């Protein structure tokens, strides 16, 4: 089992940047080959995966993230960050961190077994 704790959300004007961080807290033995992802849920919409990175360092980006968002991991610190640039009002959402017990690159949220509580990102126009 793992726990995930997000931080670093907030309020920003359109065109600005935010870099939320996910901390992976392992309560029992965890999988060496794993994937951390960021997903988001805009108001009134379904949750969607944004970006992910395996513990081996392979990134994946959804179409909405490509060119504006960058995911990174620090395996020693057990953190994953999502650098978000050129933010738009439609990026307003709760951003969640998720953990998969294997390598995965794709848009299926059911692959992820553990989720954080989320951090709110609000982009004003």
Q: What is the pLDDT of residues 17-58, one digit of tens each?
A: 999 999 998 766 567 899 999 999 999 999 999 999 999 999
* Residue 63, pLDDT score: 94
Q: Is it the case that residue 66 has pLDDT exceeding 90?
A: no
Q: What is the pLDDT of residue 94?
A: 98
Strands 69-74 and 93-100: unpaired
pLDDT at 83 over 90: yes
Strand intervals (E) in the chain: 2-7, 10-13, 21-26, 35-41, 48-54, 59-61, 69-74, 79-84, 93-100, 114-115, 119-124
CA nearest to 71, candidates 93, 98, 94, 45 = 98
pLDDT (tens digit per residue) in 92-118: 999 999 999 999 999 999 999 999 999
Task: State residue 76's pLDDT score.
Answer: 87
**Predicted local confidence at residue 1, as pLDDT:** 76
pLDDT recorded at residue 48: 95
pLDDT score for 32? 82
What pLDDT does residue 28 have? 61
Task: Output the CA angle 109-76-40, nearest 5 degrees.
Answer: 25
State the pLDDT at residue 29: 58
């Amino acid at each position: 089992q793992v726990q995930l704790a997000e931080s670093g959300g907030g309020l920003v004007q359109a065109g600005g940047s935010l870099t939320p961080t996910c901390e992976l807290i392992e309560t029992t033995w965890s999988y060496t080959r794993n994937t951390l992802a960021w997903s988001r849920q805009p108001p009134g919409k379904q949750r969607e995966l944004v970006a992910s990175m395996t513990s081996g360092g392979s990134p994946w980006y959804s179409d909405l993230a490509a060119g504006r968002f960058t995911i990174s991991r620090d395996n020693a610190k057990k953190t994953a960050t999502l650098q978000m640039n050129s933010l738009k009002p439609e990026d307003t959402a709760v951003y969640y961190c998720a953990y998969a017990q294997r390598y995965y690159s794709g848009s299926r949220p059911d692959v992820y077994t553990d989720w954080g509580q989320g951090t709110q990102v609000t982009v004003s126009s």
